[in-house]
């Protein structure tokens, strides 16, 4: 069976989703989970885009040992130099350099002739080869490029040292038949193609990213790129979890193997959904809340008699546990520590103590604590920024009744350590709380999105709130969880605002998605 390498770009292309702002701690937590998931290559970011992205890529490169860490670079020496500085300490450093090859991109974006594009690509791959042992070269907008021109430029960049050739469907335009035919043409006409692996990278603008990726694999691609939950610019990227499960369930049609640990799919999906604020639709394939739910009486009857009647994917395959009640108010520190290690978390003694305290506080109000509850607590602990000046919630009170005007009173400490307090009204209790928080904060704030969901089931479930807002003109997302909806709302609001204090100013322009 042919082996297919999995290239995850959640931390680069996925983070380019509008409104997604991950800090370094959040990126590190995602990187560790991607390593547990078994991805072969993870694209940690675009080091030249900002100081914050550079530091995050560097930290991930120094931390991850079982996956190859790569960074994106434009076809310029400065981008390549910055990428090397970020990746040189990686266990297996590699570079992902791209240049557009379609007529429309060359003419209107690059303003270069085809010959100039070839020369630039060759020169930059050769320059990068002086440092990087592995170089992936991407022909941006390959699916709308001339095939004979692709043959010409691919032949020359392989001679210059490229070890992977990526032909992305950058704008999600192509069809499975067209995309597969392009790879087949390249394999048949590039004389030195045996010296490099072929990779696919599909966007989902027409809803065909996964189908296109599978078509590419059928036509000789041995590396597939995508993101968890299919997040990314515009309509997103190919969903890696869907591709992985398709290869597993339909191995009669797709005789290919990967290194992915499928039981880590649900947890990986949940982590990325939580940290990015991009909620997974209930009907999403493989990881949606309804993926294993059966409403129809006929379906229910069939599943009870034999699950295979209507379930082609077992919940256990992707890590969905139907009975995950684990701990209660009488559970001690040792049992708690054992459980979080089972969940894959490694906490410092200080963070372990903080997590245990949060757990005990939850058990005072919630009889049974599930894996989902622990996951929420531990994620908050692991990604909490320390030694950063920020607004902190001291206390709040909301007065609300059907005959009264909703009023919120809030006390905060400012980044300078000063306590401030005020009260405001609103059309509802949440709006009153948001108006009060906004009045206490010096930054210019405009709330653009507010979403409420529950963690688990039951009336005592944790509430989780995700918000999006602009702070001083820059878009940020925030999240907060608590048993009280209003407390979760306040936490999410402050979480978004506080990101301005560790958000680094970009030093070059962010590139288009491949």
pLDDT in tens, 347-393: 888 888 988 998 888 888 777 788 888 888 888 888 877 667 889 99
Q: How far is CA 249 from CA 226, 244, 260, 282, in A?
A: 19, 9, 14, 21
Residues annotated within the binding site for Mn(2+) are: 13, 201, 203, 237
Verify that 408 and 362 share a domain, yes or no.
no
Q: Is the pLDDT of residue 513 over 90?
A: no
Residue 507 has pLDDT above 90, yes or no: no
Q: How far is CA 16 from the centre of its chain?
A: 9
**Residue 286 forms part of a structural domain:** no
* Domain identity same for 266 and 370: no
Tens digit of each residue's pLDDT (9 = 90 or more) over 274-329: 999 899 999 999 999 888 764 445 454 554 566 666 678 888 999 987 545 457 77
* pTM, rounded to two decimals: 0.89
Question: What is the structure's pLDDT at 402?
Answer: 85
Examine the domain organization and report whether 378 and 443 are in the same domain: no
Of residues 60, 59, 44, 32, the one with CA closest to residue 345:
32
- For the chain, what percent of residues have pLDDT higher than 90? 71
Nearest one of 52, 46, 48 to 13, comparing CA atoms: 46
What the block records as the tokens of 451 is 């979403």
Q: How confident is the model at residue 505 (pLDDT cuts 50, 70, 90)?
A: very low
The last residue of a domain, from among 384, 406, 426: 384
At 129-184, the pLDDT tens digits run 999 999 999 999 999 999 999 999 999 999 999 999 999 999 999 999 999 999 99
Q: Let me know if residue 300 belongs to a domain.
A: no
Q: What range does the domain containing 66 cover?
A: 2-276
Mind giving me the DSSP string for 299-347? HHHHHHH-GGGT-SS-GGGGT--S--EEE-TT--HHHHHHHHHHTT---
Compute the distance between CA of residue 359 and CA of residue 379 in angstroms, rounded to an integer. Answer: 13
339 is a domain residue: yes
What is the pLDDT at residue 307? 65
- State the binding site: 13, 201, 203, 237
The answer to whether the CB of 246 falls within 8 A of the CB of 265 is no
Question: In Å, what is the CA distance from 420 to each residue of 140, 395, 456, 479?
Answer: 51, 11, 35, 23
Kindly compute the dihedral angle of the four CA atoms of residues 116, 120, 121, 124, in this order, to the nearest 10 degrees. 170
Are 60 and 85 in the same domain? yes
Residues 454, 169: Cα–Cα separation, whole Å: 36
Would the pLDDT of 510 be above 60? Answer: no
113 domain residue, yes or no: yes
Distance in angstroms (rounded) separating the CA atoms of residues 198 and 213: 12
Looking at the structure, do residues 431 and 377 belong to the same domain, yes or no?
no
Q: Confirm whether 514 is domain-assigned.
A: no
**Gap between the Cα atoms of 404 and 2, Å rounded:** 68
Listing from the earlier edge strand, what are the strands of the sheet with 407-413? Answer: 392-399, 407-413, 419-425
493-503: per-residue pLDDT in tens? 999 999 887 65
How many C-alpha atoms does 43 have within 13 Å on its Cβ side? 29
Domain count for the chain: 3
**Do 144 and 178 sit in the same domain of this protein?**
yes
Distance CA 214, CA 227 (A): 15
Confidence at residue 202, expressed as pLDDT on a 0 to 100 scale: 98
CATH of the domain at 494: 3.30.160.270
pLDDT of residue 504: 40
Residue 293 lies inside a defined structural domain of this protein:
no
Confidence at residue 512, expressed as pLDDT on a 0 to 100 scale: 54
């Amino acid at each position: 069976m042919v082996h297919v390498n999995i290239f995850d770009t959640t931390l680069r292309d996925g983070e380019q989703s509008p409104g997604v702002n991950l800090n370094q701690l959040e990126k590190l937590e995602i990187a560790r989970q991607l390593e547990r998931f078994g991805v072969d290559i993870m694209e940690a970011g675009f080091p030249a885009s900002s100081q914050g992205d550079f530091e995050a890529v560097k930290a991930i490169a120094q931390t991850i040992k079982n996956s190859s860490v790569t960074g994106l670079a434009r076809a310029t020496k400065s981008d390549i130099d910055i990428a090397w500085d970020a990746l040189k300490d990686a266990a297996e450093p590699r570079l992902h350099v791209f240049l557009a090859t379609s007529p429309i991109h060359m003419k209107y974006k690059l303003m270069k002739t085809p010959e100039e594009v070839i020369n630039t690509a060759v020169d930059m791959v050769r320059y990068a080869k002086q440092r990087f042992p592995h170089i992936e070269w991407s022909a941006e907008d390959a699916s709308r490029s001339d095939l004979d021109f692709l043959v010409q430029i691919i032949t020359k960049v392989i001679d210059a040292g490229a070890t992977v050739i990526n032909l992305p469907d950058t704008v999600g335009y192509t069809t499975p038949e067209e995309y597969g035919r392009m790879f087949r043409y390249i394999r048949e006409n590039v004389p030195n193609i045996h010296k490099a692996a072929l990779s696919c990278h599909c966007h989902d603008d027409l809803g065909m990213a996964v189908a296109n990726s599978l078509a590419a694999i059928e036509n000789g691609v041995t590396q597939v790129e995508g993101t968890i939950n299919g997040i990314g610019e515009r309509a997103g990227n190919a969903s890696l979890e869907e591709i992985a499960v398709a290869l597993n369930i339909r191995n009669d049609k797709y005789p290919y193997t990967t290194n992915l640990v499928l039981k880590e799919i649900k947890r990986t999906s949940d982590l990325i959904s939580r940290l990015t604020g991009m909620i997974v639709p209930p009907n999403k394939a493989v990881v949606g809340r309804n993926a294993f739910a059966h409403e129809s009486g006929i379906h229910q009857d069939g599943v009870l008699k034999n699950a295979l009647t209507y379930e082609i994917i077992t919940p256990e395959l992707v890590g969905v546990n139907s009975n995950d009640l684990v701990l209660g108010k009488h559970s001690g520190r040792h049992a708690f520590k054992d459980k979080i290690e089972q969940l894959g978390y490694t906490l410092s003694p200080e963070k372990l103590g903080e997590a245990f305290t949060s757990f005990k506080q939850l058990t005072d109000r919630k009889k049974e604590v599930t894996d989902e509850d622990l996951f929420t607590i531990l994620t908050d602990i692991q990604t909490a920024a320390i030694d950063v000046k920020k607004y902190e919630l001291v206390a709040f009170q909301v007065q609300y009744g059907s005959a009264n005007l909703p009023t919120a009173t809030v006390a905060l400490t400012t980044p300078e350590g000063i306590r401030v307090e005020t009260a405001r009204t609103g059309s509802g209790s949440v709006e009153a709380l948001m108006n009060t928080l906004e009045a206490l904060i010096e930054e210019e704030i405009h709330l653009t999105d507010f979403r409420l969901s529950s963690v688990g089931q039951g009336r005592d479930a944790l509430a989780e709130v995700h918000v999006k807002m602009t702070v001083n003109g820059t878009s940020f997302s925030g999240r907060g969880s608590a048993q009280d909806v209003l407390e979760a709302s306040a936490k999410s609001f402050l979480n978004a605002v506080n990101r301005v204090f560790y958000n680094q100013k970009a030093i070059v322009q962010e590139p288009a998605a491949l």
